[in-house]
Amino acid sequence: MAASKQQHLLRDYIAEHPIVRFHELRRAGIFAMTIARAVEAGELVRLSRGLYQRPDADLDTLQALAEAAKLVPQGVIALTSALAFHGLTDQIPREVWMAVSQKDWAVAPAYPPIRITEFKDAYMKQGVEHHQISGVAVRIFSAPKSLADVFRSRLVDRSVAIEALRAALQQRKASPAVITETAMANGAWRKMKPYLEALTSNG
């Protein structure tokens, strides 16, 4: 009976939480042995150490963002990964880009592939949006904040940043005024200014 109760408890929990950490299952009253048996039976998929998901959960780029948010809870989806989320680039990053503050530096886990970059504390506090993906709260920088970050960063090719800026204007993801204000607040205005002026003067 105890085993059956544990199985029901596990199934009910993962029905609402497609991606889950080991300590969250334990906190919900699910035994380590129950978790191990569920993995053996194929009822739970072990993604990496301490991270599990339902076998029927969608494996796509959004899923990778949710998994990354679980593994690096202090991080924010940033740079090319944030551009892709907002539909501002055709590039699908092989790694999930996450920004962390200087005090929160962490070693990136092996799976999913995560690339961690360090942002100044001031740049971590602005433009953070909260999205629900596969039942996971995921923090992602907004479209204008991501534009500022990719223009400021040496890690993203300038051509990617320019195309993202063009896409943001065409899709009206943010007004030129908001893009300008955000770039100024995030140390990117000097680099972005000539491109934004060129793209807006034609319109």
Instruction: Quickly state the pLDDT bin for 1 (edges 50, 70, 90).
Output: very low
* Per-residue pLDDT tens over the stretch 14-71: 887 777 888 889 989 999 899 989 988 888 888 767 778 787 765 566 788 988 898 8
Quick one: what percent of the chain has pLDDT higher than 70?
Answer: 90
The pTM of the whole model exceeds 0.75: no
Whether the per-residue pLDDT at 192 is higher than 80: the answer is yes
Answer yes or no: are the C-beta atoms of 96 and 114 closer than 8 Å.
yes
65 class by beta-carbon count within 10 Å (0-12 exposed, 13-18 middle, 19+ buried) = buried
pLDDT for position 95:
86
* Per-residue pLDDT tens over the stretch 65-114: 988 898 888 999 999 999 999 999 987 777 899 999 977 666 656 566 88
* Spatial separation of the C-alpha atoms in residues 151 and 145, rounded to whole Å: 10
166 versus 136: which is more confidently predicted?
166
